Structure 1
Amino acid sequence: MSEDDNEDGNREWSRFWLTARHFWCGRSAWRIWLLCAVLAGIVVLQLYVQFRFNYWNRDFFDALEGRDPARLRQQAALLVPLCAASVVLAVASVWGRMAMQRNWRQWLTAKVIDYWVENDRYARLATVQGDQKIPEYRIAEDVRIATDAPVDFAVNVISSVLTAIIFVQVLWQVGGPISFAVAGVQVGIPGYLVVSVAVYSGLVTGAMLWVGSPLTRVIQIKNQAESELITAAHLLRDIGEGVTPKREERAVIAGLWQALDRAIRRWKRLCWQLMRTTMVSHTNTLLAPIIGLVLCAPKFLGDQMTLGELTQAAAAFTLVQGSFNWLVDNYSRVADWMSSLERVGGLLLSLDQLNDEAGADVTPSAAARQRQDG
């Protein structure tokens, strides 16, 4: 990405947050922050249930290894409330996240529409230099993505950080130290599972950043091509409805085919980019559980680890590397969100240019202010 593209992206980011942040600091924002606190509590409870599942996994396999029917029945009975709690918390999490996303999307969409309609900006937007095609697409689709994704990201990041903190301790306690000989020299690594998961996660995240760096720009270009295709189709419809003279039909149809060709070429480029990122993410999905088992195998074979501890440590290894590699699993969505955020910011910047020299500014209309304060 060029330096100019970076500068434009920064301006669009700043413009988006200049508007979007007011949702979180208005007079009625306490309701949203209360919902945030509820969501945080749900995340903590989900982690507690996951923690209990990790120890249930250990106890269950230890009972299998010891051929202990009474202990197996006890673990089977414990499984029912753990599953029920997990399901209830998962449903509650979906409700909380979608309630917050819905409220933010409604507020921001209303704000952008007010600004778009105010002073006939919707009619004058075509005079602005740039590629602000189909503003209604940006209002409907890009605003949705720009408000949905941050809520999911915030919940997932909090969950990932807490998961890493909790299960790193499990790895440290269960795995313990390991020693081996290298060229006749005895080498010891304390908490070797923790060291291993950190190194592995760093390698995978670095690979994703290297492979996926162009993805945001590719998605943005693809979305622009889709908007231009919709614009070209609207022009043809205008001819059919008599809005545009019939004599322009040939040129408009030619423009529609050209727009379709551009959209398909952008999709092909996106496809190749997603294939590269999928190669990294899918390889990680396959290898992470296996690596945890392989690393624990020497201790298990040396009778320094029970079967239950082996499965517990492998499961904890997978959870911790999943937390460390959050970016790997969510890279495509992060790129999609950044693209939509920049497109909404770009629309707002274009509307800013339509303000007259008499002092019209980027403040919301009366209706928008009322919604913000209410």
Structure 2
Amino acid sequence: MFEPNGAADRGRRLFRRYWASASGFWKGRSARVSWPLTLGLVAIASAQLTVQYLLNYWNRDFFNALERRDAVALWHQLALFLPLAALSVSLSVTSVWGRMTTQRKWREWLTQHLLGRWLDKDRYQRLGSVDGSHQNAEYRISFDARIATDAPVDMGIGLFNAFMTAIVFINVLGSVGGSYTLTLAGHAVTIPGYLVFAVIAYTLLFTGGMAFVGRNLTAVIQAENQAEAELRAATNAIRELGERTPPASVELEELVGVRDALAQVLRRWRQLCFQLMGTTGVSQTDILLAPVTAWMLCAPKFLAGEMTLGELTQASAAFVSVQVAFNWFVDNYHRVAEWRSSVNRVATLLHALDDADQAPPDDDAAAAASSGARDPGRRADADALPGDA
């Protein structure tokens, strides 16, 4: 994602720390739950791909029957479609159950792990003595741990589907599209499997465009999440004043802290808006152009009588399937960036908890941390992005 070397190295270190803890879900007692769920998701995704492949050939046969005006064949194709449609819907419903169950179990395991680390040996009391941007541990344990476990399950299934879809439907493109001959400077040039080369070139164009346009998205999301956490901490400080016995009055310091935190949230939200405008422009252009590009590539052979209407629709559907598979990165760029941001925040907390074992309890540091929680504007400035001045 075009990160500087220092940022990339830091990201790798944080991911290794996150994965050292999060991968424990597939070890020990929890493995009896995690591995059957994981293998079940793979089996469901494979079955869904098989149905998609069968529907691709059904699409060809249906439009060929339509072109021939063959009523008997059309009714036969309708009879074949109904069980395929029912199976596709059933697998989709089952996939939702498997996916969300895996996410729930993994989140439960990671949250309990983080809580255990946070509370064990009174580390929560020692965090104020540890340097680093690990504020708002409760937000990281609740919000970021959810994204850090939800997103990789979705993305893992998506990547597996994308990989298998690309393999299956590249073969379809090669067999249905065949070769294409064009004349250049008076010479006939034959391109074997021209639709395969076309879909690869098309995908590289949009993937490169998305990587360039969204190169700062991870940092922007991370800063926005931190600003939201600071605003929550500032408002919690006022709530705690009201819950005292007797209740304490809200001082100017608390009000200024909330206003500064809100201003920071709105600034980060504006930055996120501009980033998403750019990435949305790339992804929507991709979605609109993909089927049109496929039709235009197949049209010359169809008009020359070298491709039937059914083969044209089959090739077009296969082109879009391969394009979607290859463009998984483009379609999920925002989700990947959001996941990386949460992983970094969880890993930062884990590093701080590691360091807390060497830090003695420090009442002054704890008081300073409490003061920092009530003045979020100061900590938010420390997380400012380059060029935010």
TM-score of the superposed pair, with normalisation by structure 1: 0.92
Distance 1:156 1:75 in 2: 30
Q: 1:295 aligns with which of 294, 297, 300?
A: 297
Q: 2:167 aligns with which of 165, 168, 173?
A: 165
Query: Match of 2:275?
Result: 273
Q: Is the 8 A contact 2:130 2:359 kept in 1?
A: no
Q: Is the 8 A contact 2:173 2:315 kept in 1?
A: yes
Moved more, 152-161 or 317-326: 152-161
Deviations 1:61-117 (A, max 9, x none): 111100000000101111110110000000111111111111111011001001111
Deviations 1:302-359 (A, max 9, x none): 000000000000000000010011100000000000000000001111111210379x
Q: 2:218 aligns with which of 211, 216, 219?
A: 216
Q: Is the 8 A contact 1:239 1:249 kept in 2?
A: no
Query: Match of 1:232?
Result: 234
Query: Match of 2:286?
Result: 284
Distance 1:31 1:2 in 2: 39
Deviations 1:248-302 (A, max 9, x none): 7101101110110010000000000010011111100000011111100000000
Deviations 1:213-252 (A, max 9, x none): 1111110000011111111111222232348995771011
Q: Is the 8 A contact 2:129 2:359 kept in 1?
A: no
- Which runs of structure 2 are paired with 1:34-183 in the superposition (5 Å)? 34-183=36-185
Distance 1:90 1:40 in 2: 13
What secondary structure sits across from 2:73 in the alignment?
Answer: helix
Query: Match of 1:354?
Result: 356
Distance 1:63 1:322 in 2: 28
Distance 1:201 1:3 in 2: 26
Distance 2:155 2:272 in 1: 23
Distance 1:182 1:83 in 2: 46
- 2:125 maps to amino acid: A
Distance 2:247 2:12 in 1: 41
Residues 40 and 2 from structure 1, CA distance in 2 versus in 1: closer, same or farther, beyond 3 angstroms? closer
Query: Match of 1:328?
Result: 330
Residues 1:307 and 2:305 are matched in the alignment: no
What secondary structure sits across from 2:181 in the alignment?
Answer: strand
- 1:63 maps to amino acid: A
Moved more, 113-122 or 66-75: 113-122
Query: Match of 1:319?
Result: 321
What secondary structure sits across from 1:73 in the alignment?
Answer: helix
- 1:145 maps to amino acid: I
Distance 1:65 1:3 in 2: 57
Query: Match of 2:243?
Result: 241
Q: Is the 8 A contact 2:203 2:327 kept in 1?
A: yes
Stretches (4+) displaced over 3 A: 1-8, 242-248
Moved more, 26-35 or 100-109: 26-35
Query: Match of 2:24?
Result: 22
Shift of 1:43: 1.1
Q: 1:264 aligns with which of 240, 263, 266?
A: 266
Gaps of 5+ in 1: 359-374
Deviations 1:15-53 (A, max 9, x none): 111111111122441432222222211111111110111
Residues 72 and 38 from structure 1, CA distance in 2 versus in 1: closer, same or farther, beyond 3 angstroms? same
What secondary structure sits across from 2:357 in the alignment?
Answer: coil
Q: Is the 8 A contact 2:60 2:314 kept in 1?
A: yes
TM-score of the superposed pair, with normalisation by structure 2: 0.88
What secondary structure sits across from 2:53 in the alignment?
Answer: helix
Residues 234 and 357 from structure 1, CA distance in 2 versus in 1: closer, same or farther, beyond 3 angstroms? closer
Distance 2:12 2:251 in 1: 40
Q: Is the 8 A contact 1:238 1:244 kept in 2?
A: no
Distance 1:265 1:352 in 2: 33
Distance 1:289 1:146 in 2: 34
Gaps of 5+ in 2: 361-389
- 1:346 maps to amino acid: T
What secondary structure sits across from 1:353 in the alignment?
Answer: helix
Q: Is the 8 A contact 2:133 2:348 kept in 1?
A: no
Moved more, 185-194 or 234-243: 234-243
Distance 1:242 1:178 in 2: 79
Q: Matched residues, percent identical?
A: 51
Query: Match of 2:343?
Result: 341
Distance 1:244 1:317 in 2: 69
What secondary structure sits across from 1:213 in the alignment?
Answer: coil
Q: Is the 8 A contact 1:143 1:344 kept in 2?
A: yes
What secondary structure sits across from 1:349 in the alignment?
Answer: helix
Moved more, 274-283 or 347-356: 347-356
Deviations 1:146-166 (A, max 9, x none): 011111111111111111111
Query: Match of 1:12?
Result: 14
Q: Is the 8 A contact 1:128 1:350 kept in 2?
A: yes
Shift of 1:126: 2.9
Moved more, 95-104 or 29-38: 29-38
Residues 247 and 88 from structure 1, CA distance in 2 versus in 1: closer, same or farther, beyond 3 angstroms? closer
